Structure 1
Amino acid sequence: MTPFAALHHADPPLLLPNAWDHASALALAGLGFPAIGTTSLAVAAAAGLPDGESATREETLRLALVLGSQPFLLSVDAEGGFSEDPDEVGEFARRLAAVGAVGINLEDGLGPAGRHAAKIAAVKRAAPGLFVNARTDTYWLGQGEKEAGDSEKWRETLSRLDTYQQAGADGVFVPGLTDPARIAALVARLGTPLNLLFSPAGPTVPQLAGLGVRRVSLGSLLYRRALGAALEAMTGIRDGRAPEGRTPSYADVQALGTPDPSA
């Protein structure tokens, strides 16, 4: 078992902050988080490109090249693998592993489950040591959990996750699922660690841990909060108020881009 995989079987569960550039990743790692993920929305937004449309393949690989050699474990959000060709997805995963990434997050976008399973299998052939976190978007792109059709959505979720586990996924990810009863039922059924997306309106991290969740991701939340803080600071300054909250110094930020001479 790789060190990254082992974090999915330890207590407390893996809390995975998602960074979007070199500075954010090192700052988060400096808080003691052993693993850092990337967030596809932030990578896309920073480049002026759409998220979820396979437009940021090179930007994602470039960020992995920057972060893969840092002293933390790196998991890369690769959308749907930036291709519908499983072999091309496998080659992309091989390149991620070659620059130091230890995990990849692959989303199905509610496309054919068989095609997503083929991508997972291709990644495991091309980069056997890469932890594949297989995401299904049944609760992310569909209607709200409590609306009509939830039973059908639940059955579809179970079917897809079964297929992805059989294809070799090391973990599974169901963003948008927040109902404690559903979470507990899913944990009891799965043979691989369950990853959920933290929601400020959903269960807390300790509550998710109590339900058996093994990985909690932040997704784009930190990036969106950072943008929100910048906007609040700017409008406050315009209106004659001093910015509130923590502001890293120039030297603090400069240090994030300066190699450690003792390393």
Structure 2
Amino acid sequence: MSTSRGGRGMTPFAALHHRPGEPLLLPNAWDHASAAAVAERGFAAIGTTSLGVAAAAGLPDGAAATRGETVRLARRLGRGRFLLSVDIESGFSDDPAEVAELATELAELGVAGINLEDGRADGTLGSVAGHAAKIAAVKAAAPGLFVNARTDTHWAGVADPGPETARRLAAYQEAGADGLFVPSLTDPAEIEALVGWLSVPLNILYSPTGPSLARLAELGVARVSLGSLLYRAALAAAVGTAVAVREGRPGPVADAVPGYAAVTGLHLDGAGG
């Protein structure tokens, strides 16, 4: 058993996934300021959003185009005062050895966990065996790194995603994944059923139209990710403010907008340069 999957060797990040009735709410940042601002509100762990990182750099998400940006952000945030999980898409490679090399580099930068998905840029799913091989390679190379294995069955247009989701999660669990992630799964009965037979924590992507955080806790979910929601909300707020000013309408409430000094004062203690 790896050091992050349970027992005395459980890492602090892994421990946040093993608090019955209190799932880890993971906000996802895309740069230094967003991470520091969220950290100031007391979140013990923060993830990165691959969409936010890619869009901020003018690059496509899920197309293995942001390896450099992802590593640079991890270097900046990995020694911060919070635990960091990094979204590495599908590992930026189909070669398990190359994915393991990246994972080792991230662990050395202070990253506590990674999100590793089986979805491809064209909207299809990678092979079960191939993704399981990546998981196994990462755990062999960086056993203390928490691997959150994601399956995109609910995003890939699978006609009946239930059986395929179960097949993939079983394989990824067997390969050594520390947690399993099924974005776009919102049906309470299906979530509860997965929790019932999985032996590792289940991660669900929060949806404004899906179960609340409290309801997900009742269902036994161990981790709730916000994904790209914060980045998309920030874009909406920025554009909405610009349009309001142009049209002579009231902008956002002044008290809700951080001042210049507050933003320039955002720092991550111990973060790299």
Fold shared per TM-score above 0.5: yes
Match of 2:110 among 97, 100, 107: 100
Partner of 1:146: none
Match of 2:245 among 209, 234, 237: 237
Q: Specify the code of the residue in structure 2 equivalent to 1:235.
A: V
The yes-or-no answer on 1:253 pairing with 2:253 is: no
The yes-or-no answer on 1:201 pairing with 2:218 is: no
Give CA deviations for 1:163-188 in whole Å, capped at 9, x if unaligned.
Answer: 00000000000000000000000100
Identity %: 65
Equivalent position SS for 2:86 = strand
Partner of 1:142: 157
Where in structure 2 are the equivalents of 1:130-209 lying within 5 Å?
Answer: 130-142=145-157, 149-150=159-160, 153-209=161-217
Structure 1, gaps ≥5 residues long: 144-148
C-alpha deviation, 1:53, in angstroms: 0.5
Cα distance, 1:205–1:119 mapped onto 2, change above 3 Å: same
Give CA deviations for 1:25-73 in whole Å, capped at 9, x if unaligned.
Answer: 0110111110000000010001111000000001000000000010000
Match of 1:58 among 68, 72, 82: 68
Match of 1:117 among 111, 132, 149: 132
Distance in 2, Cα, partners of 1:188 & 1:26? 36
Distance in 2, Cα, partners of 1:132 & 1:235? 42
Equivalent position SS for 1:106 = strand
Structure 2, gaps ≥5 residues long: 1-9, 120-124
RMSD in angstroms over aligned alpha carbons? 1.2
Q: Specify the code of the residue in structure 2 equivalent to 1:156.
A: E
Q: Specify the code of the residue in structure 1 equivalent to 2:196.
A: A
Distance in 1, Cα, partners of 2:268 & 2:128? 44
Length-normalised TM-score, structure 1: 0.94
Q: Which has the higher contact order (CA 8 A, sep 6+)?
A: 2
The yes-or-no answer on 1:19 pairing with 2:34 is: no
Distance in 2, Cα, partners of 1:225 & 1:247? 14
Distance in 1, Cα, partners of 2:157 & 2:176? 25
Distance in 2, Cα, partners of 1:218 & 1:17? 5
The yes-or-no answer on 1:47 pairing with 2:57 is: yes
